[in-house]
Amino acid sequence: MELKSSRRDDTKITDSDLSEQIKAVTKDSHIRAENTELMLSYQKGEITLPQYQLLLCSLYEVYRALEDELDRSASHPSVVPIYFPQELGRLEALEEDLEHFFGPHWRKRITVPAATQRYVQRLREIGKQNPRLLVAHAYTRYLGDLSGGQVLGRITQKSLGLSNQEGLSFFSFPGVPSPNRFKQLYRSRMNSIELTKEERQELLDEAVLAFEANIEMFDDLQKILSLTKGTDVLKDTSTTANQKTLYNPVLQFTAGVCVALATIGMGMYAF
Ligand code: HEM
């Protein structure tokens, strides 16, 4: 889909528009998401390679489900206006990043916590039963990626000591030259979706749930990381990649996850 503005996309946005209501109802959740331990260590520039690797695995599973379901419902009247696979699709970017950090057999190394599994299940469920609600999930992830996510990209590069963009495809949107303009377009597309009062409320509730799913996912990831950090085997997991010397992140990461599994059996799923 091209980024041309149509008259409909230029329509003035008012408080009663879906884009404003969704922002308002998720305001508190956004603050909570920003203040999760994982996001806070991110903002302080303290993200470590194992943290980032683990996050990438979860994001991969979430976007695989989200984008599969959006593709499947691409002709649903509520999905059509916000369907931008070329501009927003993250799956290929995540695959590139995973290959960069885990090597060619990255698929065997994908590990996600129970909260990510639940998030994925929800996406699959609504994709089948009520695709309209995918709008809430697409909004939460993609507009987030185009907002705070852009800053997080720069922080990741610095924290991990990456000299170029390798491993950072997730943050790059080559089909979106101006994130702000694109967000405006996206909002007006959301506002063009025809909804009954009940459908609108359902969608707003789902957006809060989408933020909640992200918060739970971050908390679960952080729990695993905190548990593995305390073990001898992972003593260096807190070392940022900037400081890496004889440091094998993949081995440490794998060992850490094994220790977490063995120690607490907290319902993780490894593929
Ligand atoms: C370190 C964490 C984060 C920071 C620093 C951050 C920062 C921001 C900033 C500065 C904006 C732009 C606000 C505006 O244009 O008025 C924004 C928007 C947004 N963020 Fe975040 N964010 C973070 C985490 C998240 C997370 C975890 C999610 C959801 C999973 C998220 C979802 C969104 C969404 C959906 C918007 C668009 C709001 C709208 O315009 O309707 N953010 N964020």
Joined tokens for residue 118: 């639940």
Q: Is 88 in the pocket of ligand 1 (CB under 6 A)?
A: no
Q: Tell me the pLDDT of the chain averaged across its residues.
A: 84
Are 171 and 97 in contact, with CB atoms under 8 Å apart? no
Probe residue for ligand 1, chosen from 30, 34, 186 as the CB with the greatest number of ligand atoms within 8 Å: 30
| Interacting residues of 117 by C-beta distance below 8 A, sequence separation 6+ | 61, 269
pTM: 0.84
Confidence of residue 13 (pLDDT cuts 50, 70, 90): confident
- In the chain the first and final C-alpha atoms are separated, in Å, by 34
Lowest mean pLDDT among 110-119, 133-142, 156-165: 156-165
Ligand 1 centroid–CA 85 distance in Å is 21
Q: What percent of the chain shows pLDDT beyond 70?
A: 80
Are 207 and 26 in contact, with CB atoms under 8 Å apart? yes
Q: What is the pLDDT of residues 211-250, one digit of tens each?
A: 999 999 999 999 988 877 644 222 333 333 332 222 334 4
* Residue having the nearest C-alpha atom to atom 2 of ligand 1: 34
Q: What is the pLDDT of residues 165-219, one digit of tens each?
A: 889 999 999 999 999 999 999 999 999 999 999 999 999 999 999 999 999 999 9
| Interacting residues of 81 by C-beta distance below 8 A, sequence separation 6+ | 189, 190, 192, 193
Is residue 50 exposed (0-12), middle (13-18) or buried (19+ Cβ within 10 Å)? buried
| Residue at token pair 């170029």 | 164
Q: Is 148 in the pocket of ligand 1 (CB under 6 A)?
A: yes
Mean pLDDT for the stretch of residues 25-37: 97
Joined tokens for residue 39: 């996001």
CA distances from 216 to 115, 200, 223, 229 (A): 6, 24, 10, 20
**Domains within the chain, CATH numbers bracketed:** 8-270 (1.20.910.10)
